[in-house]
């Protein structure tokens, strides 16, 4: 093919309209309620979970700074910040519990979907509702026990056997608070599960 023929061939290809792809059949569309993670029924993060996430982020930054300071004084001066391990342990517990609600609402946790893939839309919605009911029940029991543990810690006046002598009810307070925030998040998720199930066609 000569250069002139190539030019004419290219112009003729540009002149042709783009082929129109047929729209997929209706059965190829996935209903939003079949979403494996979040969909339009899923609740937003909300202020309670957001405050917990912000508190956890601040604690992560503080923990990094504390560990950095510990490494500097050990390598430069040859001594240790005596309370770094204690405060680091408290921070890890607080980070774990205060971030639970945000992780739930932001779909940060791992999910196994091999059972859901074998179910229809209504079966998936019912499975999610059952699982969230079970998670809510477990969280409620955990909150009651942690609140009782916190009350006993405050009532007994226990302090840490360290140089700081931290009253133990202070670091333990993050556990019932984080669990309570998770319980509220799960109740919102349950309401979304019910709306999702009702929105499905009969």
Would you list the domain boundaries of the chain? Answer: 46-199
**pTM (2 d.p.):** 0.76
Q: What is the tens place of the pLDDT at every residue in 96-130?
A: 999 999 999 988 887 777 777 788 888 888 888 99
Mean pLDDT by groups of 10 residues along the chain of 202 residues:
48 45 35 55 87 94 91 84 85 94 88 78 86 95 96 89 87 95 95 87 73
Give the integer Cα–Cα distance in Å for 173 and 150: 6
Give the integer Cα–Cα distance in Å for 97 and 176: 8
Q: Is 179 left (phi over 0), alpha (psi -120 to 50) or beta?
A: alpha
* Nearest in space to 45 (alpha carbons), one of 32, 54, 36: 54
């Amino acid at each position: 093919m000569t250069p002139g023929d190539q030019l004419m061939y290219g112009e003729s290809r540009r002149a042709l309209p783009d082929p129109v792809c047929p729209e997929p059949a209706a059965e190829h569309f996935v209903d939003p309620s079949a979403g494996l993670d979040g969909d339009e029924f899923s609740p937003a993060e909300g202020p309670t979970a957001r405050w917990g996430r912000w508190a956890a982020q601040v604690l992560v930054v503080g923990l990094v700074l504390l560990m950095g300071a510990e490494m500097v004084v050990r390598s430069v001066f040859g001594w240790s910040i005596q309370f770094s391990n204690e405060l680091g342990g408290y921070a890890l517990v607080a980070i774990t519990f205060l971030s639970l609600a945000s992780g739930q609402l932001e779909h940060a946790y791992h999910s196994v979907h091999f059972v859901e893939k074998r179910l229809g839309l209504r079966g998936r919605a019912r499975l999610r509702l059952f699982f969230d009911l079970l998670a809510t029940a477990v969280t409620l029991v955990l909150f009651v026990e942690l609140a009782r543990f916190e009350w006993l810690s405050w009532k007994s006046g226990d302090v840490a056997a360290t140089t700081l002598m931290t009253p133990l009810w202070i670091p333990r307070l993050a556990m019932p608070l984080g669990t309570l925030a998770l319980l509220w998040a799960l109740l919102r998720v349950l309401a979304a599960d019910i709306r999702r199930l009702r929105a499905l066609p009969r």
